[in-house]
Amino acid sequence: MQRLQKVLAAAGVASRRKAEEYIAEGRVTVNGEVITQMGYQVSPHDEILVDGEPIKREEKVYFLLNKPKHTLSAASDDRGRKTVVDCLEDVDARVFPVGRLDYDTTGLLLLTNDGEFANKMMHPSSHLPKTYEVTVEGVITEKMVKMMERGIMLDDGKTLPAEVFVLQQSVKKNRTVLEITIFEGRNRQVRRMMEYFHCEVKSLNRICYGFLDLGNLQRGQYRKLRMYEVRKLMEMADDQASVPEMLRR
Ligand code: URA
């Protein structure tokens, strides 16, 4: 459900403020009824007319981007930095990123114009798995792996159990490459988990989100999600069964 004035603005009828004026003036009907109440909630299936003309509601679109480094997870930037929305060159719809990856983080990022979908993906109860390949300066020991698998105390509370695999390690070069799957989405979580062990992150790449992976997409490339993929993500976010056994203990 969305506020009527927001839907009118998104359909390009007028700015949000002008749309509020139209509503107050009684020029807007929803399913044949004049609505003057501000903040009235409408669903995608409601028929909305302005001055008797149906509005064109923006089709919902969903994209998977392989985010390059040095791009901002935002729709725009007042400092002129390139954003992830700028990466979707051929897309006219007003999309925004689902959550965020840091400026230096690469990898799988979803973008959409569907606020309800985005909220569902980002809701703390969704527990969607997100997998990162992370290269750190330092040696991550078996003991540290076990700690992350149980949860470690960060400044905003204990992390949920993570799945952690050491992919490569060189004591001589003081380097470790890990694959970490987390089931929550706190700000800068993986970097803060590494800081906990005094390990500096050299690169961070998200390789999976829910059941999606990057496939053949190169950095900066993107593709449309298929409807079954969108549906499956929504089901996963809803489905308590997708919460791994270890989180339910
Ligand atoms: N964790 C981080 O620390 N940064 C990201 O961009 C994503 C997850």
Write the single-letter amino acid at 11. Answer: A
Higher pLDDT, 230 or 90: 230
Mutate to test the pocket of ligand 1, among 66, 69, 101, 148 (most ligand atoms within 8 A of CB): 101
Average pLDDT over residues 150-154: 97
**pLDDT confidence of residue 247:** 65
Higher pLDDT, 58 or 207: 207
pTM to 2 decimal places: 0.81
Average pLDDT over residues 174-183: 98
190 Cβ closer than 6 Å to some ligand 1 atom: yes
Please determine, for residue 243, whether its predicted confidence score (pLDDT) is greater than 80. Answer: no
**pLDDT confidence of residue 185:** 86
pLDDT bracket for residue 244 (50, 70, 90): low
Query: What are the extents of the domains in the chain?
Result: 2-54, 62-125+212-248, 130-209
Report, at the CATH architecture level, how domain 130-209 is classified: 2-Layer Sandwich (3.30)
Burial class (CB in 10 A: 0-12, 13-18, 19+), 134: buried
The kind and range of the H/E element at 180 are strand 175-182
Pick the catalytic residue from 92, 102, 155, 213.
Answer: 102
- Catalytic annotation present for 102: yes
Q: How far is the CA of 108 from the centre of ligand 1 (A)?
A: 11
Closest ligand 1 atom number to CA of residue 206: 7
pLDDT bracket for residue 249 (50, 70, 90): low
In percent, the amount of the chain with pLDDT more than 90 equals 80
Q: How far is the CA of 18 from the centre of ligand 1 (A)?
A: 39
**pLDDT confidence of residue 86:** 96
| 62-125+212-248: CATH topology | Alpha-Beta Plaits (3.30.70)
105 Cβ closer than 6 Å to some ligand 1 atom: yes
The top-scoring range by mean pLDDT among 57-61, 77-81, 200-204 is 200-204
Residues whose CB is less than 8 angstroms from the CB of residue 47 and which lie 6 or more positions away in sequence, other chains included: 30, 31, 32, 54
pLDDT bracket for residue 92 (50, 70, 90): confident
Mutate to test the pocket of ligand 1, among 132, 199, 201, 206 (most ligand atoms within 8 A of CB): 132
Closest ligand 1 atom number to CA of residue 201: 3
Q: Are 91 and 191 in contact (CB under 8 A)?
A: no
Closest protein CA for atom 2 of ligand 1: 188
Same fold, 62-125+212-248 and 130-209: yes
98 Cβ closer than 6 Å to some ligand 1 atom: no
Please determine, for residue 4, whether its predicted confidence score (pLDDT) is greater than 80. Answer: yes
Average pLDDT over residues 143-172: 97
Average pLDDT over residues 111-135: 93
Task: Name the CATH code of domain 2-54 (choices 3.10.580.10, 3.40.50.720, 3.10.129.10, 3.10.290.10).
Answer: 3.10.290.10
Q: Are 213 and 146 in contact (CB under 8 A)?
A: no
**3-state percent helix, strand, coil for the chain, nearest multiple of 5:** 25, 30, 45
**pLDDT confidence of residue 130:** 97
8 Cβ closer than 6 Å to some ligand 1 atom: no
Q: Average per-residue pLDDT in the chain? A: 93
**pLDDT confidence of residue 100:** 96
Higher pLDDT, 115 or 182: 182
**pLDDT confidence of residue 180:** 98
pLDDT bracket for residue 195 (50, 70, 90): very high
Q: What is the CA radius of gyration of the chain?
A: 22
Average pLDDT over residues 87-101: 93
Q: How far is the CA of 199 from the centre of ligand 1 (A)?
A: 14
How does pLDDT run across 24-41, given as a tens digit for each residue?
999 999 999 999 999 999
